[in-house]
Amino acid sequence: MGDPVTSTPARGRGELEREVLACVAAAPGPVTANDVLADLGGGLAYTTVMTTLARLESKGVLTRSMPGRAYAYSLVGDPGQVEEALAAHRMRRVLDSRGDRASVLARFVAELSAEDEQTLRTLLADADAGPGGTS
Amino acid sequence: MGAAASMLTPLVVGVILALAGRRLGDLLPPATAVPLLTLASLVTALSTGFVLAVAGFDALAQLPVVASAGTWSARIVAAREPVPLALGAACALACVALMGAALRRFVSSGRDLAVAAAACRRLGRGTDGLIVLADETPDAYALPGLSGRVVISTGMLRALPAAERRVLLAHEAAHLRHRHHLYVQVAELSAAANPLLRPLAGAVASAVERWADEDAAQAVGERTVVARAVARASLAAQCGGTSRISTTGVGTRVALRVADTFALARTKAMLAPAPEPHRALTATVLALMIAGAVAAIDTGSHTEHLFEMARAATITSS
């Protein structure tokens, strides 16, 4: 019984990176190369895991610390940007799903707090000043 | 041979495909079923639409105003026309309504895909296309784009052991690699243009999931792991409640989500051996599709002939 992951087909480089990232993200805390190796198992070499972790760290996806004798890696706590992108996307999606964009937008702006309104004004001013033009 | 028979053929083909659609999706290997059923529904939708348009046009051509504008004899058209006037008018109305529905569907599909592609760009490259969301709600989906993204929440990753996480990654990557969302959208478009084909769109949507499962089985080399992964991931997604992401939907309508309604059927399929290629069945579906298309073309040439005669009649009488 157990997980017979012994003779699975070989992974490509990108595939391995994704798997190692998924492994680190699934762990409750920081993990070492040994932890990853133990979790993924199946014919991976220690150095391969080490290299992959280091590459993910250099890409800025993982951060590392040295709590003991080996580097421990964890997911970079930067979901903020991703969350923002997804939230912006959701707002656009809602806007697109209504026929009357203009009135939805007008209503939205009307119900904003003073602070939000100021933020929006600043953003619009920035957009006008920028090279992107008025679109 | 008969003009009326030609006109009915695409309709009959549509009915047969609709009745057999679900079974076809189960019997054929998904990598065959998806392109085959998508093509069959597209061609059948076009054939039916064409026949409706011809029947509708024939009806309109019997009106004296239209006939004089087109310089043909309304009497000849009415005498030779296989479709009664009332039925032809109904066909014209149906044709306009269905074309409208198809057009709306086309626009909304295009917009959904564009919105999803924009979200992909905003999300950045990720790690080889993988975006991990720090979100405890289990969720996973493939977001289509020029180069799509696989979005998986940490909640989903935590719900699965390593071998099954690998299945999940391979499954979502397969959706993007084979551009599964395009098949689903084309089948949906065909169903909008011909509501008879609705079951085929459902068959394509479920076969797409099965195709990604078969691909994942190839990647990990074992079917039972895939069966377990599918079962566990869909349970996790259901028990995890509605995610912030999935309720509002990042391109919900085009994103292919891991925990869809087909989970039970998919698990069963992965516990059974991979489906064998079924040449005879594939050939039958293709033959049906071609029969519908040929009948539609035949209807067109019959009508062309009819109008040649009707024109000649006005020339000789004047």
pTM: predicted TM-score of the whole model, two decimal places:
0.80
pLDDT the model gives residue B307 = 87
Q: Per DSSP, which regions of chain A are E strands?
A: 62-65, 72-75
Contact criterion met (CB below 8 Å) for B56 and B95: yes
Q: What residue spans define the domains of chain B?
A: 3-317
Tens digit of each residue's pLDDT (9 = 90 or more) over A36-89: 999 987 788 999 999 999 999 988 888 888 888 889 999 886 555 566 666 665
Cα→Cα distances B304→B78, B93, B310, Å: 14, 21, 10
B-proximal residues of A, 9-68, CB under 8 Å: 9, 14-15, 17-19, 21-23, 25-26, 28, 39-41, 56, 59, 61
Please measure the distance between the N-terminal and C-terminal CA atoms of chain A and give it in whole angstroms. Answer: 61
Tens digit of each residue's pLDDT (9 = 90 or more) over A99-128: 677 777 777 777 778 888 888 788 788 877
Q: Give the closest residue to B20 by CA, choosing from B10, B31, B33.
A: B33
Question: Which residue of A13, A36, A90 to mutate against B (max B Cβ within 10 Å)?
Answer: A90
Give the mean pLDDT of chain B: 87
Tens digit of each residue's pLDDT (9 = 90 or more) over B281-316: 999 999 999 999 999 999 999 888 888 888 888 876
Average pLDDT over residues B106-113: 91
- For residues A72 and A86, what is the distance between their CA atoms, to the nearest angstrom? 29
Q: How confident is the model at residue A29 (pLDDT cuts 50, 70, 90)?
A: confident
Three-class DSSP labels, B49-108: HHHHHHHHHHHHHCCHHHHHHHCCCHHHHHHHCCCCHHHHHHHHHHHHHHHHHHHHHHHH
Q: Give the closest residue to B40 by CA, choosing from B213, B242, B203.
A: B203
pLDDT the model gives residue A2 = 42
Contact criterion met (CB below 8 Å) for B206 and B25: yes
Tell me which chain B residue has its CA closest to the CA of residue A56: B127
* Chain B residue set in contact with A, beta carbons under 8 Å: 111, 115, 118-119, 122-124, 127-135, 150, 152, 154, 157-158, 160-163, 165-166, 168-170, 173, 218-222, 225, 245, 248-252
Please measure the distance between the N-terminal and C-terminal CA atoms of chain B and give it in whole angstroms. Answer: 33
Beta-carbon contacts of residue B297 (< 8 Å; ≥ 6 apart): none
